[in-house]
Chains A and B, each alone.
Chain A
């Protein structure tokens, strides 16, 4: 009798806690679970009763890695509730700040969290000895992203200057000009990363699913647009509940979602599949070099899509800085007036579409809050992928099965802290 028992209690190199459990006997799977036991944090309850000026400050603390995405979604939800249209300057600054987080997150994920799997080491730390130039390069890109966020909002983790209605402090253009030079140089670093990715053997596994992302006719959408799906017409963001259809499961503190199929995917690959045409020319060219084309149904390719997106992000940042330098930036007066009502904010966080939904009273105090987090939307899809993957690899050695399962989870770049942590695999 052959037994396979995987029990990974807390998958490493992901944000937050997740367990993988596989129990199989004589080629028959008895139990296969992606468990999310992250400590529940009750942000929706914490936000009730808070004044709008404190809301995005608190909402940012949902997640350290995508705090800019949470802050932006939060601010945009409040602005939608109050009927505020941010100025052109604010939108440009917000997009640039957003790019900073996306750059940092994608570099962290592709080089620090994913690459060790392919290079046969347990973390980036041994790479500091064997691939020092790559580690130094990754740190350089991360630092650039941090410095860009610092120029705009004082810091990357829990940004400060971006507020409801605009920016409490505007950046120094000379600082942005200096950052532009480093962004141009960063494209060379990305070429080095691409040459590394070309050598990685990405597992060949395909499962088509529904892909959901923001879509904006004007550009590759990060902080604007409608909810697009591979399976259905686009809908406005305030109709998100009809797409996410959240439900609770006993194995997870995170809520699960589904739309047209059993599960759907959000994140870099979903964006790539839905918005490929709007990527920058250089990003498209690199996609071709890396052998990824839209639509792509291999979840292990999420990291490749992230790398392609990183080119777009860097080029977009350069363009935004050029625009800001050309038009100039000035302090804009705080004109925020609270109004009773409901507003929804939606952005593409590094891991996918994120919704914040607030209801305010006339004094600008929150009476109801709801947040739907990207990773929660992916949990169900991760489970369905595992169910399709594991039967195909059950004849392999246990260690290999476990690694393939862990790599699948890691590919999604789950940010379980937000979603509320998970991988426990049991082989019998």
Chain B
């Protein structure tokens, strides 16, 4: 029997779901041979509340989203966080730096009273999460890997070493050499250092490795005359939630 899979979105840009739709024909048709997608609002009209695996995209940023997520958790045998917003809070948490009232007023002016909003948080701040497909956006290859592992009842093999390792393998020149700040030394790999390869630097969208080597990051910063504050500003973009919790 095919596993029944559902996709749900909360506060997000929906880019991760969109990339699911962009799996190449072969991968998509392969997956459809093994699973049955029963709920995917962005792509399918029918919906069913009978599913085994739930993929959740997005952060929780409204009161009304909490019971909705709890209901999904109660139904799903396996719950997977999809993308940075769901896994670590992501960019949505940037608003948490402002008092909610001020953020509301800034964007909606006098109409602010119409809006239900709470500080943004990753989904594991509300319900237990079984697996994480990280990144902003996700890597679809990693998603396929996770789904296959789930179907086989195995634990998906996700790297727990820093982006730096993959970046060196990709043959990139270290961006610290150009005087830029980079979160590669402390961020969980699995992206093949795509941002550095593209001429940019790591912003930490996959979250921290389990035991980040803070000393090594500080050492690198010192060597290049940079301060931790400069890194924290970059770190906030995706990891405000972890930062505030500390």
Query: Which residues between 15 and 55 of chain A lie within 8 Å of chain B, taking CB atoms?
Result: 15-17, 39-46, 48-49, 51, 54
B198 to A161, Cβ gap below 8 A? yes
Query: How many inter-chain residue pairs (CB < 8 Å) link A and B?
Result: 168
Interface size class of A (residues with CB under 8 A): 35 or more
Given the known interface contacts A65-B15, A160-B195, the answer about A136 and B25 at a Cβ–Cβ threshold of 8 Å is: yes
CB distance from A364 to the nearest CB of B (A): 13
The tally of residues in B whose CB lies under 8 Å from a CB in A reads 61
B44: chain A residues at CB < 8 Å are 12-13, 122-123, 125
Given the known interface contacts A40-B108, A64-B137, A248-B114, the answer about A417 and B237 at a Cβ–Cβ threshold of 8 Å is: no
Other-chain residue from A62, A123, A160, A168 in contact with B194 (beta carbon distance below 8 A)? A160
B26: nearest chain-A partner, CB-CB: A139
**A355 interface residue per 8 A CB criterion:** no
Given the known interface contacts A15-B42, A40-B107, A41-B11, the answer about A57 and B95 at a Cβ–Cβ threshold of 8 Å is: no
B107 to A44, Cβ gap below 8 A? yes
Bound CA–CA A46/B102 (angstroms): 11
B15: nearest chain-A partner, CB-CB: A64
CB distance from A362 to the nearest CB of B (A): 18
Bound CA–CA A284/B10 (angstroms): 41
What string of 1s and 0s marks CB contacts (under 8 Å) between B8-47 and chain A? 0011111111110110110011001000010011111111
**B234 interface residue per 8 A CB criterion:** yes
Bound CA–CA A112/B22 (angstroms): 11
Given the known interface contacts A122-B46, A142-B22, A253-B114, the answer about A163 and B14 at a Cβ–Cβ threshold of 8 Å is: no
Bound CA–CA A250/B113 (angstroms): 9
CB distance from A79 to the nearest CB of B (A): 18
**A146 interface residue per 8 A CB criterion:** yes
CB distance from B102 to the nearest CB of A (A): 8
Given the known interface contacts A10-B41, A48-B106, the answer about A64 and B13 at a Cβ–Cβ threshold of 8 Å is: yes
Bound CA–CA A63/B12 (angstroms): 8
**B225 interface residue per 8 A CB criterion:** no
CB distance from B129 to the nearest CB of A (A): 19
What string of 1s and 0s marks CB contacts (under 8 Å) between B105-141 and chain A? 0111111001101000000000000000000110000
A64: chain B residues at CB < 8 Å are 12-19, 137
**B209 interface residue per 8 A CB criterion:** no
A58: chain B residues at CB < 8 Å are 91, 94, 237
**B62 interface residue per 8 A CB criterion:** yes
A255: chain B residues at CB < 8 Å are 108
Given the known interface contacts A58-B91, A58-B94, A123-B46, the answer about A157 and B24 at a Cβ–Cβ threshold of 8 Å is: no
**A155 interface residue per 8 A CB criterion:** yes
B194 to A161, Cβ gap below 8 A? no
B137: nearest chain-A partner, CB-CB: A157
Bound CA–CA A160/B192 (angstroms): 14
Given the known interface contacts A10-B41, A45-B95, A248-B109, the answer about A146 and B22 at a Cβ–Cβ threshold of 8 Å is: yes
CB distance from B61 to the nearest CB of A (A): 6
B45: chain A residues at CB < 8 Å are 12-13, 116, 122-123
A67 to B13, Cβ gap below 8 A? yes
What string of 1s and 0s marks CB contacts (under 8 Å) between A259-288 and chain B? 000000000000000000000000000000
What string of 1s and 0s marks CB contacts (under 8 Å) between B170-206 and chain A? 0000000000000000000000001101111001000
B230: nearest chain-A partner, CB-CB: A51
B92 to A155, Cβ gap below 8 A? no
Given the known interface contacts A44-B107, A64-B18, A125-B44, the answer about A417 and B95 at a Cβ–Cβ threshold of 8 Å is: no
CB distance from A257 to the nearest CB of B (A): 14
CB distance from A383 to the nearest CB of B (A): 17
B199 to A167, Cβ gap below 8 A? yes
**B143 interface residue per 8 A CB criterion:** no
A158 to B194, Cβ gap below 8 A? no
Other-chain residue from A16, A54, A108, A143 in contact with B234 (beta carbon distance below 8 A)? A54
Q: Which of B16, B19, B37 has most A Cβ within 10 Å?
A: B19
**B233 interface residue per 8 A CB criterion:** yes
B36: nearest chain-A partner, CB-CB: A125
Bound CA–CA A417/B65 (angstroms): 15
A39 to B65, Cβ gap below 8 A? yes
Other-chain residue from A61, A143, A168, A417 in contact with B24 (beta carbon distance below 8 A)? A143
**B149 interface residue per 8 A CB criterion:** no
B106 to A39, Cβ gap below 8 A? no
Other-chain residue from B42, B91, B198, B233 in contact with A13 (beta carbon distance below 8 A)? B42
A161: nearest chain-B partner, CB-CB: B198
**B98 interface residue per 8 A CB criterion:** yes
**A213 interface residue per 8 A CB criterion:** no
Other-chain residue from A16, A67, A248, A418 in contact with B108 (beta carbon distance below 8 A)? A248
Query: Which residues between 52 and 100 of chain B lie within 8 Å of chain A, taking CB atoms?
Result: 58, 61-62, 65, 90-92, 94-95, 97-98
**B226 interface residue per 8 A CB criterion:** no
A123: nearest chain-B partner, CB-CB: B44
**B150 interface residue per 8 A CB criterion:** no
**A304 interface residue per 8 A CB criterion:** no
A140 to B25, Cβ gap below 8 A? yes
Bound CA–CA A152/B25 (angstroms): 23
Bound CA–CA A51/B47 (angstroms): 43
A160: chain B residues at CB < 8 Å are 194-195, 198-200
A42 to B107, Cβ gap below 8 A? yes
CB distance from B100 to the nearest CB of A (A): 9
A160: nearest chain-B partner, CB-CB: B198
CB distance from A17 to the nearest CB of B (A): 8
A168: nearest chain-B partner, CB-CB: B199
**B231 interface residue per 8 A CB criterion:** no
**A154 interface residue per 8 A CB criterion:** yes
Other-chain residue from A16, A49, A154 in contact with B197 (beta carbon distance below 8 A)? A154
**B242 interface residue per 8 A CB criterion:** no
In the assembled complex, 24 residue pairs joining A and B whose CB atoms fall closer than 8 Å, in A order, are A10-B41, A12-B42, A12-B44, A13-B44, A39-B62, A39-B65, A40-B115, A40-B117, A44-B107, A54-B234, A61-B15, A63-B15, A65-B15, A67-B13, A122-B45, A128-B32, A143-B25, A157-B15, A157-B16, A157-B137, A163-B200, A253-B114, A417-B12, A417-B14
The 10 closest A-B pairs by CB, nearest first: A64-B15, A168-B199, A248-B111, A160-B198, A169-B199, A154-B198, A123-B44, A122-B45, A46-B94, A64-B13
